[in-house]
Structure 1
Amino acid sequence: MQYQTCTLCHIILMLSSLIPKGTYGITIYQTPSVASNEGGSVIMNCTLSEESLGPVQWYKGIKQETLFYSQMQNETSGARVKLAGEERKRNIDLSITITTVTLEDADIYYCIKFKSDKQSRAAVGSGTQLYVNRKPSSPSVSGPAEKVILNSRVTVKCTSRGFSPPEINITWFQKETMLTKSSPNVTSNDGNRTYNAESNITLLAHINSPVTCRISHAALEQPLNAVFNFNDILKAIPSTPVISYTKKENAVMLNCTSLRFYPKNIRIQWAKDGKQIKELPENNISETTGGTFKITSIIKFAVTKANISSSITCQIVHLTGNSTSEQLHLKDVISVSPSLPVITGPSTRMTYMKIINLTCSSSGFYPQNITLKWFINDLQKNEKVFHVIKEHEDGTYNVTSTIEIQSDKQYINSVLTCQIIHLSQTLTSSTYNLSDVITVSPTMISEPCNMTLNATVSLACKATQFYPPFIRIIWLENETELFNGSSQGLFLSKDGTYTTVRYLSIKYTEEKVYSVFRCQAEHESILFNSTTCDLLKFKDKKDPVKRLSRIDLPKMAKHITMVSSDFFLKEHYAFFCHKNVFWEYNPGHFL
């Protein structure tokens, strides 16, 4: 590849005629210029006219001050530079090879032959100019920042950066047809090491008519292309929409059409009496001749008596503006079917034996003649059912029905159904799983055992008839939780409730005589997460049986009977708590 201008050619011819010769008649021949791509390798030629003793050195720069390569001993060159000539011709061919060429290598290089004393120069070459080519960046094309009207004149800019040498060609094409081969504006921001180029073109912007910027440069094996798509910046105003309609038995079909718009991201909004209709219409967008678009929107309305004077509006929403059509009035009142009923209940499970309120609602029906029924497992429920029907402002009606159910085990695995029958011959229903909100509190049962000193005793605590199955049972000794218990697992009963047993093995020693062991259940059916009881003190050692009654639960008052024994040797404690919360066992009672 040739990169020299005419001026450079004249300089080379002049330098060739002034090739220097050494004092011993030695002539050094250097190639005037060579070129290499950045990262490549290049050979710098240096040939002597005859053999001569003494080393050769290469210097970089017009002033020959920077040593680049040396044959002298104790002087090393970079790893990128080595002799290129054949070994048998090494006395006359002192060319060098530079690898991994960088932009910083671009300069003039001189081959200098020294005499045998290694101090005096025998001959100096005319110099070789190294040109380093850097590839230009991929071209970038840009146009107006805002949307422009279809078929208007638009200026497009193409830029490329970071290339060398500065000679570059930029050509514009449209649909494979060359528009112009411009002389780009070339500038440099780093002292003429690399260059930037920019080219502009102005032309009419059409749909589907992209313009291509093509860059050619000495460092490129193939040209680089960038495409600017006018479709990204064009806009065309849609025509005023037109509404047509078709009447059917129970509804009216409305058709809204608009033409000649671009791009196709358009939206049609339907409104009734000035209020936007949320129902999604059936929209169809198609391309027309010239690349613009057409939209057709169809929406179906069920006409009600309350809406006989209502007006329907079709509105176009586009990047370029909007317009509305004439208004149509809905006629021919027909009945309107109710919406699918929705059953709502509590967000969490209800406490055992509490009342659960469930609501079934349906809306948008006309006229108000409607029947709502509740079923539990296909059996109709009529007690504790309340209906409310209200008229909506649009003339349709809403119904809300509430049923009260007690949180009890009889409703485990039961399905609640809300059924609606309307004058429009519509029958619809929804279901609700009562197991999602039902809870049944556990019943705590203890198994008595005989106490023998210095024997291992197993205490059993059984929780029965609870739902759902998630439960935690722990043993406590003197209010300290014990972690050496074991559980038997969960057992499902026929009624849908669960049973589990928690065992505790203890070594019954004299130190344990006055210990109080308590079995406690934690279950979501229990009203309070934590429950406390007052210890009942028994100080009368003579009365064989004393019945005391006192217990304190948070926000509750429960009375149970506590039994003591006359075998107590000293003051200690024994008590049972509410069966649905926990049970306490004192081995000292059985001494």
Structure 2
Amino acid sequence: MTERYNSENNLTCIPDIAPVPPSPPAISVTQETLVAEKVSSLYCLAGGFYPQSISIKWLQAILDNSQSSPADAETRYRTQEFTFSNMDGTFNTTSQLTFVPTSQDHGLIYTCQVHHSTSEKQIIKQIRLKVNYGPKLVIYYRTSDTDMFHRLDQEHIHVKHQTFLELNCTADSNPVATVIWKKISQEQSLQLAAGVNISILKIASIEYSDSGAYLCGAQNDYGFQEFPVNIYLKSDLGSSFPVRSVTFLVFLVSVISLLIWGSEWKDRYCPCNSRNSKQCENQGKSCKVDPVEDADVHEEITSKL
């Protein structure tokens, strides 16, 4: 205690304030829930240090942490610092690194680098990013169970009748995604296979009924994606057509042939019946029986002959 006189010559006791000893900072690094393509932040807390002067930098690991670059020097990042004093005279400083993460940032290591007068060496603390993102689909295929898989970069595949076909639909996502294969038709959507981050569609001997439209879909809490695949059967001559297209083409040709035949029949002939025989003669057309339209007249003419 120190005794002093105030302005009124009264003796006053003033408690002695002990000087704050130099104290190194305790470092911790945290991350909020990081979501791809959304603004997110990392936090580096330096707590309980004295004196107040302190330097905090962020580093981004490159090539599995073999190299580092200053993250806060890039335009992609923004940093802020907040300093508060404690009751014991020490200080806390929080450095906030704000940026928009992508799925490629998932698993990268970020470093908080702190320099304080109490330590000759820089104090570092690292954190591995956990970025949440929706599924991104890639499909691989093979036409023999002994072949290597190939990436399918288009929305259709051509295979021969009664051959092997395997389609692997793989999802890159965090967290894991549910992946489903479906066959699509006008009547219904039929689920064929399902899995976690991968779904395998395997046909041991593909038939004409297996051709058509298929769909791989993947979903987690952060997104959904679909990839359509059309399977076409390849003939021995090398041409490829979907079976439904061939069926429709045959049907269309048949309908057109019937229409042409009906038109020619009407131009050349008149149906023979009791009501229009004179009309046929006036038009200069031959009288011919339509077996479908007038079966009774056909029977009558036949008996007369």
Provide the secondary structure at the position in 1 that maps to 2:201.
strand
Q: Deviations over 1:236-272 (max 9, x none)?
A: xxxxxxxxxxxxxxxxxxxxxxxxxxxxxxxxxxxxx
**Corresponding residue of 2:28:** 342
**Corresponding residue of 2:71:** 381
Q: 1:425 to 1:351 in 2, by over 3 A?
A: closer
| 2:67 is aligned with 1:370 | no
Asked if the contact 1:474–1:519 (Cα under 8 Å) also holds between the matched residues in 2, the reply is yes
Counterpart of 1:481 (choices 181, 184, 191) is: 191
How far the C-alpha of 1:462 sits from its partner, in A, is: 4.1
Asked if the contact 1:475–1:482 (Cα under 8 Å) also holds between the matched residues in 2, the reply is yes
Matched residues in 2 for 1:502 and 1:412: separation?
Answer: 26
State the structure with more CA Rg.
1
1:173-572 matched pairs, under 5 angstroms: 331-347=17-33, 350-377=34-61, 378-383=68-73, 384-425=78-119, 427-434=122-129, 436-437=130-131, 439=133, 441-445=135-139, 446=152, 448-450=156-158, 455=162, 458=165, 460-463=167-170, 466-467=172-173, 470-478=176-184, 479-483=189-193, 502-505=200-203, 507-510=206-209, 516-523=213-220, 527-528=222-223
Alignment: residue pair count: 194
Which letter maps to 1:482? L
Asked if the contact 2:157–2:230 (Cα under 8 Å) also holds between the matched residues in 1, the reply is no
Provide the secondary structure at the position in 1 that maps to 2:157.
coil
Provide the secondary structure at the position in 2 that maps to 1:333.
coil
Q: 1:481 to 1:402 in 2, by over 3 A?
A: same
Matched residues in 1 for 2:15 and 2:22: separation?
Answer: 18
Q: 1:380 to 1:440 in 2, by over 3 A?
A: farther
Which letter maps to 2:170? A
Q: Deviations over 1:41-73 (max 9, x none)?
A: xxxxxxxxxxxxxxxxxxxxxxxxxxxxxxxxx
How far the C-alpha of 1:441 sits from its partner, in A, is: 4.0
How far the C-alpha of 1:357 sits from its partner, in A, is: 1.0
**Corresponding residue of 1:583:** 227
| Same amino acid, percent of matched pairs | 19
Please, what TM-score do these two structures have when normalized by structure 2?
0.50
Provide the secondary structure at the position in 2 that maps to 1:382.
helix
Please, what TM-score do these two structures have when normalized by structure 1?
0.28
Matched residues in 1 for 2:109 and 2:213: separation?
Answer: 45
Matched residues in 2 for 1:379 and 1:359: separation?
Answer: 18
Asked if the contact 1:461–1:519 (Cα under 8 Å) also holds between the matched residues in 2, the reply is no
Q: Deviations over 1:298-353 (max 9, x none)?
A: xxxxxxxxxx99xxxxxxxxxxxxxxxxxx96644144424411111125xx4433
Matched residues in 2 for 1:374 and 1:381: separation?
Answer: 5
Stretches of structure 2 lacking an aligned partner (at least 5 in a row): 3-13, 62-67, 140-151, 233-240, 246-305
Provide the secondary structure at the position in 2 that maps to 1:368.
coil
Q: Deviations over 1:207-233 (max 9, x none)?
A: xxxxxxxxxxxxxxxxxxxxxxxxxxx
Stretches of structure 1 lacking an aligned partner (at least 5 in a row): 1-307, 310-327, 491-499, 532-580
How far the C-alpha of 1:394 sits from its partner, in A, is: 4.4
Which letter maps to 2:19? V
Bigger RCO of structures 1 and 2 (CA < 8 A, at least 6 apart): 2
Q: 1:352 to 1:381 in 2, by over 3 A?
A: closer
Provide the secondary structure at the position in 2 that maps to 1:442.
strand
Provide the secondary structure at the position in 1 that maps to 2:158.
coil
Which letter maps to 1:450? H
- Pairwise CA RMSD of aligned residues? 3.9
Matched residues in 2 for 1:400 and 1:352: separation?
Answer: 24
Q: 1:467 to 1:477 in 2, by over 3 A?
A: closer
Matched residues in 2 for 1:504 and 1:394: separation?
Answer: 69
Asked if the contact 1:407–1:438 (Cα under 8 Å) also holds between the matched residues in 2, the reply is no
How far the C-alpha of 1:433 sits from its partner, in A, is: 1.3
Which letter maps to 1:430? K
Matched residues in 2 for 1:330 and 1:425: separation?
Answer: 29
Q: Deviations over 1:138-170 (max 9, x none)?
A: xxxxxxxxxxxxxxxxxxxxxxxxxxxxxxxxx
